[in-house]
């Protein structure tokens, strides 16, 4: 280990950390894209009815609809 400066030891620790991180990532469990996409679609379909931006809400319920000004008789 002759001639090691602080710069190279930092690189080594960094490299070691990267390798450890990659090992962790390589070992996680994955599912197929077809299954993941099917699940995403299922979620969308289940919640689509409740999505106001998707379905549109009647004007009476829309809190942002401009209300007509009141006329004082």
Partner 1 sequence: MCDQTFLAIVFGPCDKCFKEKPLRPVYIKSEQLSYCSLCVEMMATEGLHENETLASLKNEAESLKGKLEEERAKLHDVELHQVAERVEALGQFVMKTRRTLKGHGNKVLCMDWCKDKRRIVSSSQDGKVIVWDSFTTNKEHAVTMPCTWVMACAYAPSGCAIACGGLDNKCSVYPLTFDKNENMAAKKKSVAMHTNYLSACSFTNSDMQILTASGDGTCALWDVESGQLLQSFHGHGADVLCLDLAPSETGNTFVSGGCDKKAMVWDMRSGQCIQSFETHDSDINSVRYYPSGDAFASGSDDATCRLYDLRADREVAIYSKESIIFGASSVDFSLSGRLLFAGYNDYTINVWDVLKGSRVSILFGHENRVSTLRVSPDGTAFCSGSWDHTLRV
Three-state DSSP class for residue 8? helix
User: Which one of 3, 35, 69, 71 is in contact with partner 1 (CB under 8 A)?
Assistant: 35
User: Which one of 2, 53, 59, 71 is in contact with partner 1 (CB under 8 A)?
Assistant: 53
Closest distance of CB 68 from partner 1, Å: 15
Are residues 59 and 65 in contact, defined by beta-carbon separation less than 8 angstroms?
Answer: yes
Instruction: Provide the 10 A C-beta neighbour count for residue 41.
Output: 10
Positions that interact with partner 1 (CB under 8 A): 1, 4, 6, 8-13, 15-16, 18-19, 21-26, 28, 30-41, 43-48, 50-54, 57, 62-66
């Amino acid at each position: 280990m002759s001639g090691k400066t602080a710069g190279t030891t930092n690189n080594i620790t960094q490299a070691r950390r990267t390798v450890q991180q990659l090992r962790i990532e390589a070992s996680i469990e994955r599912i197929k894209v077809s299954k993941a996409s099917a699940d995403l679609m299922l979620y969308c379909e289940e919640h689509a009815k409740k999505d106001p931006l998707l379905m549109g809400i009647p004007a009476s319920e829309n809190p942002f609809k401009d209300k007509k000004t009141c006329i004082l008789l």
